[in-house]
Amino acid sequence: MPLLDHLREFRNRFLKSLLVVFLTAIAGWFFYEPIIEQLTKPFCDLNKTGGENYCGDLYINGLIGPFNLHLKVAFIAGIFLASPVWLYQLWSFITPALHKRERRLAIGFVSIATPLFSLGALLAYLILPHAVKILLGFTPSDLGNLIRFDEYLDFVLRLILLFGIAFVLPLLLLSLNVLGLITGKSLLKPWRLAVFICFLFTAAFTPTPDPVTMTLLAIPLCLLYFTAGTVAVLLDRRKNKKNGNNSSQVEPIDPAKPI
């Protein structure tokens, strides 16, 4: 297809995705209160566990602050709810440029990456109260702590996004092995360096400075790395065995006949 046709197709699929995001954002607008309740629940539960000394107060700043927050929450909810649609539109735009084997690999990658990302996001939500308690613990006892809700919302989204991406990274390494770009042995050989990189990654990008949160993210990441490496080794053995069987079944070449 010419370049302009590609651009038109991208525009059409982008507009379809944007329309669905807008419609789901309307649903997020009406479910604003339950969403806010779930987002603030990890923060508010600190008061129920006897952690009054660690808690601050969430507030919204400005005259149009509540309206802007309402729009932001609805838009974020719309993006999450419409993710199957815009992922399908993106996939439909990319599919014609892939080979048949790459299409099957991409389908498997997406189907496995989605629950892995959800698992990472769930883990981030579960450790969120601990992360908030650690950060608010640095507040002096003689001072209060007022926290803007939009800053708190950005912190929650960053934590969920970080955990979700971290859980998908080992699957990316396994996909490179399936494509033949890396072997299982070469993936597991520098395991000490890989474990160090996992802890370094979590220490650098985790928005909380405490070692407990860092460890809670690094340990599952290391387990996923070793799982991906083990599966890659098994796939390499199966591939080598299949290639050996194919080479043993090759028929000998007939000798040349005189003209």
Per-position DSSP letters for 87-128, written without gaps between them: HHHHHHHHGGGS-HHHHHHHHHHHHHHHHHHHHHHHHHHHHH
Decide if pLDDT at 11 tops 80. yes
What does the domain layout of the chain look like in residue ranges?
3-242
The predicted-structure confidence for 208-220, as pLDDT tens digits, reads as follows 666 776 777 788 8
- Six-digit token pair at 138? 């640095």
Decide if pLDDT at 58 tops 50. yes
The amino acid present at 31, given as its one-letter code, is F
Q: Give helix 32-48 / helix 65-81 axis angle, nearest 10°.
A: 100
Decide if pLDDT at 53 tops 70. no
Residues making up the chain, counted from first to last: 259
Q: Give the pLDDT confidence score for residue 114 in this predicted structure.
A: 74
CA distance linking residue 222 with residue 196, whole number of Å: 9
Decide if pLDDT at 55 tops 50. no
Q: Give the pLDDT confidence score for residue 228 in this predicted structure.
A: 82
Averaged pLDDT score across all residues of the chain = 76
Q: Closest Cα to residue 198, out of 173, 179, 234?
A: 173
The predicted-structure confidence for 122-175, as pLDDT tens digits, reads as follows 887 887 777 777 777 777 777 767 778 888 888 888 777 777 777 777 777 777
CA distance linking residue 56 with residue 52, whole number of Å: 8
Beta strands in the chain (DSSP E): 57-59, 146-148
The predicted-structure confidence for 181-205, as pLDDT tens digits, reads as follows 788 788 888 888 888 888 887 777 6
Q: Give the pLDDT confidence score for residue 50 in this predicted structure.
A: 47
- What are 57's strand-pairing partners? 146
The predicted-structure confidence for 16-28, as pLDDT tens digits, reads as follows 888 988 999 898 8
Decide if pLDDT at 54 tops 50. no
Share of the chain above pLDDT 90, in %: 2
